[in-house]
Amino acid sequence: MKLWDKGFSTDQKIDHFTVGNDRELDLLLAKYDVIASKAHAKMLGKIGLLAMEETNALVNELDNIAKDIDEGSFTIEDTFEDMHSKIEYVLTKKLGDTGKKIHTARSRNDQVLVAMHLYLKNELKVIKSETVTLFNLLMDLAEQHKEVLLPGYTHLQIAMPSSFGLWFSAYAESLIDDLYFIEAAYKVADQNPLGSAAGYGSSFAIDRTFTTQEMGFDSLKYNVVAAQISRGKVEKATAFGMGAIASTLSKMAMDICLYMSQNFDFISFPDELTTGSSIMPHKKNPDVFELVRAKCNKLLGLPNQLTLITNNLPSGYHRDFQLVKEVIIPAIQDLKACLEILTFSLKEIKVNPNILEDSKYDYLFSVDTLNELVQNGMPFRDAYKKMGQEINEGTFAPKKDIQHTHEGSLGNLCLEEIREKMRKLI
């Protein structure tokens, strides 16, 4: 069954090519098409295009379909093009002519648009929630290990003292910036496109404000052409937000892989969170974090993929937009999986409390030793030269009782201020 069926069949090869994997993806979107269809049916009843008993019958049957979706028994067989055609078929089979009326004053174009907006709103909430969970864990780890010093690097060369408090809370605060992008994407998604029909509105006197309120949208996408050309844009806004989080997770995963190596030995994890080698019995591989790194790096290409699919299309609907679904939906599942596995794994992290006892890290303290000379009255440039000379001659004696007190330094992490920043965001 196809919503555009005019009584003649399409070649099977064309059918297979144009449908693609829509049926599989639509199983994730079907619940949102039902939500939109219920709002649409109620609106049709409100403006008199459906009798009250017809509206009630449609809503009741849509509730039954929603139950099937929740229980996992809803399917989209090969005889149906997508979720829209399957849902309308079920309504017609159960309700006869009443089921045929559900498509009045709408198009498959605004059906898929509103379903995607509802889906993205929900998924962005989930991503935000899981990001906040990871944030809270990182902040707890920062508090727990704030006294444990860690080498800081520039150019992968030993640079200055850092700490696990700084390291954990750095990634936590970065997630706040990432959520600003998620919030922006949510605002784009939180606009109701239903009622734009094929992209040019309808001659029926529909009530779009009603459906906006019924579905819980904050606002209406007023201009019907703007609503239609938002397809691709709302997904791209989501992709930028996801890319921001992915960038943070990827960088942290890289740090973890580095710090787990025997050459660094800064952190470790229980055996059950690592993998082994088929021939080297000593190996404890950070496969989980390598895959987080790779999956997140892949996600960074998402905005570009969506741009290449949708860029330079003229206004109005084009079938190109169908490919947006198969890009954004699996990517969302990947990001949620990365957030979940990082939270799961980092709960078990073990930090090495004695890293800086190794003399190779003595040069970490050259800047602090230099600064003490400056505080005692020596000009900075002279102190710099003196320190360089002592290092070259092998006479450098590090000052290890360091005092960093300014906001955001290892002696003043401002953890509560960072938590407050997140509280304001959520």
Mean pLDDT across the chain: 91
Are 12-104 and 109-145+163-203+219-356 equal in CATH topology?
Answer: no
Whether the model pTM is above 0.95: no
Cα 226–232–237 angle (5° rounding)? Answer: 95
DSSP, residue by residue, 99-160: HHGGGTT--HHHHHHHHHHHHHHHHHHHHHHHHHHHHHHHHHHHHHTTT-EEEEEETTEEEE
Extract long-range pairs of 318-326: CB within 8 Å, 24+ residues apart.
319/18, 321/231, 321/232, 322/18, 322/20, 322/22, 323/20, 324/231, 324/232, 324/235, 325/22, 325/25, 325/29, 325/116, 326/20, 326/21, 326/25
Domain spans of the chain?
12-104, 109-145+163-203+219-356, 358-419
Do β-strands 350-351 and 267-268 pair in parallel, antiparallel, or remain unpaired?
antiparallel
Q: What is the pLDDT of residues 63-87, one digit of tens each?
A: 999 999 999 999 999 888 889 999 9
pLDDT, mean of residues 7-24: 58
Place 21 in a pLDDT band, splitting at 50, 70 and 90.
low
- The answer to whether residue 295 scores a pLDDT higher than 70 is yes
Check residue 12 and give its pLDDT: 58
pLDDT band for 222, please (50, 70, 90 cuts).
very high
Residues 187-202 have a mean pLDDT of 95
* C-beta atoms surrounding 192 within 10 Å: 28
Confirm if 228 and 197 have CB atoms less than 8 A apart: no
| pLDDT tens digits, one per residue of 105-159 | 999 899 999 999 999 999 999 999 999 999 999 999 999 999 999 999 999 999 8
The structure tokens listed for 85 are 């055609």
pLDDT for the residue 353: 96
Could you name the CATH architecture of 109-145+163-203+219-356? Answer: Up-down Bundle (1.20)
pLDDT tens track for 364-423: 888 888 888 888 999 999 988 988 898 888 888 888 888 888 999 999 999 999 999 999
- Give me the pLDDT at residue 390, please: 87
Express each pLDDT in 354-378 by its tens digit.
999 998 899 888 888 888 888 899 9
154-167, pLDDT tens digit by residue?
A: 999 998 899 999 99
With cut-offs at 50, 70 and 90, classify the pLDDT of residue 16: low
pLDDT at 114: 97
How big is the CA angle at 280 (ends 277 and 281), to the nearest 5 degrees? 90
Q: Which residues pair with 382 in a beta bridge?
A: none
Model confidence at 4, pLDDT cuts 50, 70, 90, reads: very low
- Range list of H helices, 47-107: 52-71, 83-95, 97-100
The pLDDT assigned to 423 comes to 97
How far apart are the C-alpha atoms of 176 and 264, rounded to whole Å?
Answer: 29
- From CA 65, how far away is CA 129, in angstroms rounded? 28
Q: What is the CATH number of domain 12-104?
A: 1.10.275.10
